Amino acid sequence: MSSLAKALSVAILMGTAGQAAAVDNGGPIDRALVAIKANPVPTRYSTSDAFATRGVTIDRNGTEHVRFARTYKGLPVIGGDLVVHSRAGTFKTASLMQAKPLSLSTTPTITSSQAIANAGAQFGTGFDSVPTSRLVVFARKATPTLAYDVLYTGKAKDGTPIRMHYFVNAANGAVIAKENAVQTGTLPGTGYGTGNPPADPNVTPVVGTGRSLFAGVVPLDVQWNNTRRLYELKDPTRGNTNITDMGDGYRGSGGLVGIGTQVVDGDNKWGNGATTDRVSAAVDAAYGFAKTWDFYKGKFGRLGIAGDGKGATGAVHYLTKYSNAFWSNDCFCMAFGDGDGVKIKPLVAIDIMGHEMTHGVTFATAGLAYVAESGGLNEATSDIMGTMVEHFANNPSQAPNYLIGEAIYLPVAGNPPALRSMFKPSLDGISDDCYPDGSDPAYLDFFRSTGVYAGGGKDVHYTSGVGNHFFYLLAEGAVAPAGWGAGTTANLTPDKLVCNGNVALTGIGREAATQIWYRALTVYMTSSTNYANARVATMSAAADLYGAGSAQQNGVAAAWDAVNVH
């Protein structure tokens, strides 16, 4: 990392999630609120708006970045969030996607019951709790609309929980958008504080030994519970990150996924390296959690998913033969299936662990909506950071690469090499290497979830290919990974790795690419960021870290060009 990047990253530590108690966020927040009102055009401010702070970042040079959620006449504005950037009290710019200031009636024409019924017609009959609704302003489209946010919860056919938000036009009852709050790791299917939670006098941090399914024999930071006289797979050195066992079930005692049952042991020797011991998968989960925590702390000074020093819960053995993993914002937790045992192994490989934890980081920062292009960027962020966690761990048992979830596939005929590949996303037959060029307007609408595909469109696991591909090219250039280049079965020559013919594209390295993406996510992206705005966000991040016109910023521009994002 350059000296400029190092200096800036230290400064980010001061402002991210309140990690330095000496920093008074009241000043930056007050200045940002004044800037919003003084600059109504770039901030889309109306006199009926109010703002709630979601985060403050202060660079060493004094530049302040304050993230806000917006309300209008007391109603939440979906897509109205923004980041105000200023320095020395002078407004610089704002990052947001809301198209214009709000001016609309907040009196609905249809009732809440009608909205719930209309949403239910799309959800079906498999809901497992009483649906709820609230009035909001939906501002992700060019024309902001008064809408009901209707929440249905249930399960998909494979057992994946669903918490589907339907946005129903409060004037005519049409469903204008939908978004699932449960974010999966494989297929379709904020608090601010500092330090670790208070120490429990009845527990003692100790180091155990784990035999994992994927990572080999690994040390584990666990705790001895003096009351229970047992070791618990709970990490007091990383915010009480906790691993539980769902017992092949769907619900525990904590709601949507529940907390499951605490994984415990009598001799502090965990697992046997095979699925014959249920604890082996838990070892992988604990190892992956620890490495992901250390990655975010070491690279960005971030303490935990929300940046508040608190760990999350990871539940293994979710359902029976469940071939997926997911993050839920509502329980601040993750769950991991065991796979079907025929084609799929337990989904606790380290890149999947990093992927799921990163969904939480995204939720706590940019809040990228899990739909349309922002959803593709959400998934790409998890793939990018999950892959970088794998590189950070550099475990010989899980050699780092640019494949997602390659370790979970059993060696049987017909299995793909991985869930996804970053260097050539279309190897799966459906993901996009490049942003659609518009020659097929119907497909462009499908990709963007616009037009007749509004509220639906292409799955975010596949539109993520553009972001994944960009990151690979930014880091490595138009060079195929070992075993995938010219003369191999894949025969990926440079011309097959770029969308614009720039076969001479060179990378800037993983470290710089990772720093740029993280800063773009945490400082410039908002909930509705699309690919064009992701380009703007990463260009700004590169200028902050390495300077305007630097090789790194030029590399960002060239990599986006190579995937048709202009």
Domains along the chain with CATH numbers: 3-96 (3.10.450), 112-180 (3.10.450.40), 203-360 (3.10.170.10), 372-561 (1.10.390.10)
Q: What is the largest CA-CA distance in the chain?
A: 67
Angle between helices 551-561 and 460-476 (to 10 degrees): 140
Rg of the chain, C-alpha, whole Å: 23
Which pLDDT score is estimated for 187?
A: 54
Which of helix, strand or coil describes residue 150? Answer: strand
Which pLDDT score is estimated for 534?
A: 99
Tokens 């490049």 correspond to what residue?
434
Which pLDDT score is estimated for 129?
A: 81
Instruction: Catalogue the active-site residues.
Output: 356, 461
Among 433, 403, 421, CA closest to 497: 433
Q: Quick check: 279 pLDDT over 80?
A: yes
Alpha-carbon distance 494 to 131, whole Å? 51
- Weakest-pLDDT range from 24-33, 277-286, 372-381, 545-554: 24-33
Q: Residue-wise over 47-66: b if at least 16 C-beta within 10 A, else e?
A: eebebebbbbbbbbeebbbb
Across 201-214, average pLDDT: 95
Q: Quick check: 197 pLDDT over 80?
A: no
Residues 6+ apart with CB under 8 A from 489: none
- Whether 259 contacts 252, CB under 8 Å: yes
% of the chain with per-residue pLDDT over 70: 91
Structure tokens at 181: 């709050």
pLDDT digits (tens, 9 = 90+) for 331-341: 889 999 999 99
Residue 110: alpha-carbon gap to chain centroid: 35
Q: Quick check: 253 pLDDT over 80?
A: no
The per-residue DSSP string of 337-364 comes to ----SSSB--S--HHHHHHHHHHHHHHH
H/E stretch holding 471 reads helix 460-476
Which pLDDT score is estimated for 192?
A: 27
Which pLDDT score is estimated for 493?
A: 98
Return the ∠ at Cα 382 (arms to 498 and 535), rounded to 5°: 50
Among 491, 494, 537, 496, CA closest to 518: 537
Average pLDDT, the chain: 91
Strands 49-58, 203-211: pairing kind: unpaired
Structure confidence at residue 104 as a pLDDT band (50, 70, 90): very high
Alpha-carbon distance 281 to 235, whole Å? 16
